[in-house]
Amino acid sequence: MRTKPQPTTSIATSDAQRILIRGHDLVEDLIGQVSFTEMFLLQLTGQRPSAAQVRVLDAVLVTLMEHGITPSVIATRLIYHSAPDALQAAVAAGLLGVGTTFIGTMEGCAANLEEMLAAPEGVEARARAIALRHKEAGKAVHGFGHPHHKPDDPRTPRMLAVAEREGVPGRHLAALRTLSAQVDDVYGRHLTINATGASAALLGEIGIPQKVMRGVAVVSRSAGLVGHIQEEITRPSAVYIWETVDEAIPYR
């Protein structure tokens, strides 16, 4: 007994001769003609993206790919050492860390921008309300501040410049700048727009829904983690990491 009507998919279909993805012939129209990033946007939105949208997504994917020795990288290297015949598991272990603590702030920032853009009282008034609400609750405003990059995250102005150069509509960029001004004013000091905040605005500009933005980070980070596996193959670190951590946390 089915409780739901039959679902359908509009992503892909194939027969012996032909593979259609989002209505386009994979062989005739896509392989050799579109980049990974263009294909990703087609897969995600169902629409052939503009060149500008592709470049904006590339800017986000390039920014988020690699951050040095992160928790995800450590997990991936250790799991690769434990199961080197299952490379996919090592990548998956690291990707499980693309969660609320780090990349979740991108979604929180995007939600704030969407709230501002939909507010009947106007973007600026709602920006101030958001900043005040967070300050009163003693919570950080998602997308602002950075533990190492002070006073300013160097990635942010470049990311915003790319989006402006590409001529995106600009509503999310403007909202982010408005929110930034209100945050600085309400908190009484300058808090940098960080790279996840900028990512939220850029992805908003090219129509990526807020609920799936984390997926963009997952894709970008998967490439970063594969690079670390390749380095782990040629310059193994996992046993050293293990011994170092074991020594660093004494039994008491």
| Position 189 contacts a second copy (CB under 8 A) | no
Shorter beta-carbon distance to a second copy: residue 56 or 131:
56
The residue count for the chain: 252
| Position 142 contacts a second copy (CB under 8 A) | no
Q: How far apart are CA 87 and CA 108, in angstroms?
A: 32
Supply 132's token pair.
């005040």
Shorter beta-carbon distance to a second copy: residue 30 or 125:
30
- Residue 138 Cβ vs a second copy, minimum distance, rounded to whole Å: 18
- In this chain, which stretch among 65-73, 113-121, 122-130, 173-181 interacts with a second copy, using CB under 8 A? 65-73
Tokens 């990703």 correspond to 40
Nearest to 101 by CA among 200, 196, 199, 226: 196
| Position 150 contacts a second copy (CB under 8 A) | yes
- Residue 42 Cβ vs a second copy, minimum distance, rounded to whole Å: 9
Shorter beta-carbon distance to a second copy: residue 92 or 174:
92
Shorter beta-carbon distance to a second copy: residue 7 or 120:
7
Supply 193's token pair.
């727009």
The correct pick among 55, 135, 171, 177 for binding a second copy (CB under 8 A) is 55
The alpha-carbon radius of gyration of the chain (Å, integer) is 21
Nearest to 42 by CA among 64, 7, 10, 8: 10
H or E segment at 216? helix 213-234
Tell me how far CA of residue 47 lies from CA of 213, 221, 226, 245, in angstroms.
17, 24, 29, 48
| Position 70 contacts a second copy (CB under 8 A) | yes
- In this chain, which stretch among 117-125, 132-140, 159-167, 168-176 interacts with a second copy, using CB under 8 A? 159-167
| Position 201 contacts a second copy (CB under 8 A) | no
The correct pick among 47, 132, 139, 243 for binding a second copy (CB under 8 A) is 243
- In this chain, which stretch among 22-30, 118-126, 127-135, 171-179 interacts with a second copy, using CB under 8 A? 22-30
H or E segment at 184? helix 171-187
Q: Are 106 and 217 in contact (CB under 8 A)?
A: yes
Residues 6+ apart with CB under 8 A from 10: 22, 23, 46
**Interaction with a second copy in 86-105: which residues (CB under 8 A)?**
86-93, 95-102
| Position 51 contacts a second copy (CB under 8 A) | no
19: helix, coil or strand?
strand
Shorter beta-carbon distance to a second copy: residue 1 or 118:
1
| Position 138 contacts a second copy (CB under 8 A) | no
Give the full edge-to-edge strand order of the sheet including 24-25: 12-14, 19-21, 24-25
Supply 116's token pair.
């501002």
Binding residues for a second copy, rule CB under 8 A, total 121
